[in-house]
Structure 1
Amino acid sequence: MNGQPQCPHCIQDRWQADAEAAGLQWAGRDPQSRHHGFYIADCRHRLRRQFELIKRAAAGTCDVRCELCQQQKEQEEASAQGWELIGPDPNRSQNYRLYQHQACGHVQRIARANMQTGRFQCSSCGEGWSSAPSFLYVMKLKLAKGAKLIKLGYSRDPVSRLYHQLLKTKETEAQVLRTVPISSGHTAVQIEKGLHARLKAEHPDSVAPPDLYADELRVKSEVYFPDVCQVIFAMLDAIKAEEDS
């Protein structure tokens, strides 16, 4: 008298409809919990999820992620950097994982974003930036408004530097044109400072004003117009010949 009975078949139909809307296949309710059901993901793995979570996923307010596929993806990211994924962060940070360095066996907490980009060092056997090998680089940039620019600099990983540190927006077209290996970061920064000093002194009109690229690049200097590109290449040729000798 005080409640409204619900049809179990209609309830299950709603659960199945929510599953389909969330991109899953309904696989039955969990007999151990009235709040959970089983689902088959596109990867064919069997998932156990709360009905309320699937309802939110069906409405497009969240995603349903397969833990097995996610773990495999993170392991592949680690392997590409020479590490092995051990498990979640012991400090329970959602942004960190626990990894083991394949080269020396050292176990270390590393932010997953850094593992993806390679912007970290093994605290046991890794070299500091000043002693680690580095590169001088030249990058070609095309801003969203059409301006074409050249960036000269140094980095241990120029590609990571470009896509994970330099660019503010995906609208900027960018490419690493050339790199020259340098024995250490300390040497690279000294050479780079000399190159910029020469360019500013000998080609002042080629220095791009920061206001031109401030909305798209996370730097405030060391950016040039393309007319000086061949001059930079000639400088790098001389540096490479000296490094090779």
Structure 2
Amino acid sequence: MRQALALTLAAALLSGCASHKPEDYNGIWINQKAIDSAAKGISLRQALKDNGPNFEWKLNIAAGQASVDNGFELAEGQLAAGDKQYQVVFPGNHVETLTLDGDELVQNTSQWSPQQSFEKARSPAPMGARTGTTFEQALYSAYLGGEWKIMAGPGQGGTVHFRDNGVVEGLPSLDRYALCLAGDCADMSGANDSLWLERNQRGAPYIFKRDGDQLEILRALNSAQPDEKPQLSPGPRQWLLERD
């Protein structure tokens, strides 16, 4: 009797793990592994490369819509229910398959992408926000959150805050920033990490180097001709920041 009861309970547990309601897929799912890797204070480019290429899925089961963001491009497709899975059909007959494994959303291996796992966002942006916003805000908070002291450079001795909405406070004559995640900005800076800094919508790219709680921001030197795509390399140091 005891053995039969144990088998019954095991079967029930397994059945519960494999069974998911359609609404369980709903919402915004982010690449938490990429965020956690970057938060260790390593190269952002390396953390994203090792855990990419996609960073956020947004699923609306009722509307049959799905979108995915890779930090540069946004793809929108239609959801189709399958046996214990969903298929996302994108233009050009590009199909991705999504399943749930416990609390994780799994993008299964396809001819376009490797297998990846995503977690339901703890603090999602509104569903109407651009796909990728939730991942970006979570990454910004984990990677640059906290209080940074200017150890060298303009404003030395001051305090800098990088907000998760792209606002920067404390860097002289600057009020906005954006980390380069992928695409053209990554191509222009080669193997280097880069970010954009601006004030009143006028700014420039910079190269940065992250080593634990130290952040070095360097001017970006462009070796390309005026009619060529910019090719950026590290120049003189502009700031050295240290996080408390």
Q: For the superposition of Structure 1 and Structure 2, which TM-score range results when normalised by the shorter chain? A: under 0.3
- Structure 1 or 2: more helix by fraction: 1
Which of the pair has more CA radius of gyration?
A: 1
**Which structure's relative contact order is higher, taking Cα pairs within 8 Å and 6+ residues apart?**
2
TM-score, normalised with respect to structure 1: 0.27
TM-score, normalised with respect to structure 2: 0.28
